Amino acid sequence: MATLKTRDLVKRFGHVQVIHGLDLDISDGEFVALVGPSGCGKSTLLRMIAGLEDVSGGQMWIGEGRVEHLPPQKRDVAMVFQSYALFPHMTVRENIAYGPKVRGEAGDKVEESAELLNLTPYLDRYPRELSGGQRQRVAMGRALQREPRLFLFDEPLSNLDAQLRVAMRAEIKALHARLKNTVVYVTHDQVEAMTMADRIVVMRDGRIEQEGAPLAIYDRPNNVFVAGFIGSPAMSFLNGRIEAGRLTLGGLSIPVDTREGAVIVGVRPEGFTMAGGDTGLEVEVQVIEPMGPETHVLANIVDRTLAARSGGETASDIRAVLRERVNLGTGDRQRLSVDPAALHLFDPESGMRLAD
């Protein structure tokens, strides 16, 4: 196993630059998720690490050795893709053993990895006789035939249905805990990144926006983009104003310790609570989603000057996740309080987090 380091890594396709001077440092045995919206350069970066894509500039090390100009087979990495690329005319056993066979090796790890991946009963089946999750495990079994210095995954769970995705994400995490291999895992799904990785690298447009432990990013996003991207359901954004050390939001007045003036206020869904009387932020309920353990309230803010929806994905201004069951319906007015500890304040011009 090995470390991975890049310095000022650049990729251009013709005149279009898609990776803008990336510095990555991945420790031995670490599970790092590269996460970001579609098109931000995740696959390109992973393919550059694997040697499947030339670098346009910068340096890369795997372990102690410089690798950016080495061909893929000399880098000693294994890659699992979104499409599993199994041979349809070969059994599970033959698919897993294919790599060692073409390399003229014994392939004596086939049984062992089949056991590890719960594939032993299926070794003599063909890919068409397997479920999506089993095919995905075969693709991983193939990657495990070698002891590569780095495992690279490119959205390996995207083709699976929701239930299997949840099961496989736990399996891959458990596998990593046992093998302690170095993993770079690409996904556009921030839930996968949050739940699986030791560390998340959030990318946008070929640049790193923030990196850190999942909950460290969740608790202290550097900017509005990361705040809106990490966390499910997403953070809600409001227009606020700070005067004389207090943040005013509709009927709410909250003491804060930062600069005065206009701010973007981010509130995590669990930061809202029901308020009584005429204090709090007045909203009009759009949709109630009873989840069982919690209730999701999608609502619009009555005072439109406070609405600061970011991105086009949300159908309502805010989403509150309440622990209790509520007696509310579409069109009802309700007042909400905000837990001061769940507030995130950003500069409206730069989008950056305000110092506190």
Ligand X SMILES: Nc1ncnc2c1ncn2[C@@H]1O[C@H](COP(=O)(O)OP(=O)(O)O)[C@@H](O)[C@H]1O
Chain residues binding Mg ion by CB under 5 A are: 43
Q: Which is nearer to Mg ion, 43 or 316 (CB)?
A: 43
Task: Tell the smallest beta-carbon distance from residue 173 to ligand X (Å).
Answer: 22
Give the one entry of ligand X, Mg ion, none that residue 44 binds, where binding means its C-beta sits below a cut-off of 5 to 8 angstroms depending on kind.
ligand X
Distance, in Å, from the CA atom of 168 to the CA atom of 172, rounded to the nearest integer, reads 6
Q: How is 105-147 classified by DSSP, letter by letter?
A: ---TTHHHHHHHTT-GGGTTS-GGGS-HHHHHHHHHHHHTTS-
Give the one entry of ligand X, Mg ion, none that residue 40 binds, where binding means its C-beta sits below a cut-off of 5 to 8 angstroms depending on kind.
ligand X
Give the one entry of Mg ion, ligand X, none that residue 73 binds, where binding means its C-beta sits below a cut-off of 5 to 8 angstroms depending on kind.
none
Q: Quickly list H helices, the chain.
A: 42-50, 92-102, 110-116, 132-143, 162-179, 190-196, 214-219, 224-229
Q: Which is nearer to ligand X, 56 or 258 (CB)?
A: 56
Q: In Å, how far are 113, 135, 216, 288 from 315, measured between CA atoms?
A: 45, 36, 28, 13
Burial of 324 (0-12, 13-18, 19+ CB in 10 A): exposed
Task: Tell the smallest beta-carbon distance from residue 136 to Mg ion (Å).
Answer: 17
Task: Tell the smallest beta-carbon distance from residue 181 to ligand X (Å).
Answer: 22
Distance, in Å, from the CA atom of 244 to the CA atom of 228, rounded to the nearest integer, reads 28
Helix pair angle (162-179, 132-143), 10° resolution: 20
Q: Which is nearer to ligand X, 38 or 73 (CB)?
A: 38
Question: Helix/strand/coil (H, E, C) string of 201-222?
Answer: EEEECCEEEEEECHHHHHHCCC
> Smallest Cα–Cα separation from 206: which of 341, 55, 356, 45?
45
> Smallest Cα–Cα separation from 197: which of 212, 209, 210, 208?
212
Give just the sign of the alpha carbon dihedral 88, 94, 98, 104: negative
Task: Tell the smallest beta-carbon distance from residue 36 to Mg ion (Å).
Answer: 10
Task: Tell the smallest beta-carbon distance from residue 20 to ligand X (Å).
Answer: 11
Distance, in Å, from the CA atom of 208 to the CA atom of 199, rounded to the nearest integer, reads 13
Q: Which is nearer to ligand X, 225 or 237 (CB)?
A: 225
Give the one entry of Mg ion, ligand X, none that residue 9 binds, where binding means its C-beta sits below a cut-off of 5 to 8 angstroms depending on kind.
none
Give the one entry of ligand X, Mg ion, none that residue 223 binds, where binding means its C-beta sits below a cut-off of 5 to 8 angstroms depending on kind.
none
Give the one entry of Mg ion, ligand X, none that residue 38 binds, where binding means its C-beta sits below a cut-off of 5 to 8 angstroms depending on kind.
ligand X
Q: Which is nearer to Mg ion, 83 or 232 (CB)?
A: 83
Chain-centre distance for alpha carbon 294: 23
Distance, in Å, from the CA atom of 319 to the CA atom of 108, rounded to the nearest integer, reads 53
Give the one entry of Mg ion, ligand X, none that residue 13 binds, where binding means its C-beta sits below a cut-off of 5 to 8 angstroms depending on kind.
ligand X
- Record the tokens describing residue 312, joined without a space: 């086009």
Q: Which is nearer to Mg ion, 43 or 136 (CB)?
A: 43
Give the one entry of Mg ion, ligand X, none that residue 10 binds, where binding means its C-beta sits below a cut-off of 5 to 8 angstroms depending on kind.
none
The residue with tokens 């030339």 is: 54
Give the one entry of ligand X, Mg ion, none that residue 39 binds, where binding means its C-beta sits below a cut-off of 5 to 8 angstroms depending on kind.
ligand X
Task: Tell the smallest beta-carbon distance from residue 17 to ligand X (Å).
Answer: 9
Task: Tell the smallest beta-carbon distance from residue 41 to Mg ion (Å).
Answer: 8
What are the phi and psi torsion angles at 104 (to 5°)? 70, 25
Binding site for ligand X (CB under 6 A): 13, 18, 36, 38-44
Task: Tell the smallest beta-carbon distance from residue 322 to ligand X (Å).
Answer: 35
What one-character DSSP code corresponds to residue 55?
-
Task: Tell the smallest beta-carbon distance from residue 42 to Mg ion (Å).
Answer: 5
Q: Which is nearer to ligand X, 130 or 203 (CB)?
A: 203
> Which residue type does 273 have?
T
Q: Which is nearer to ligand X, 18 or 307 (CB)?
A: 18
Q: Which residue is nearest to Mg ion (CB)?
A: 43
Q: Which is nearer to ligand X, 119 or 152 (CB)?
A: 152
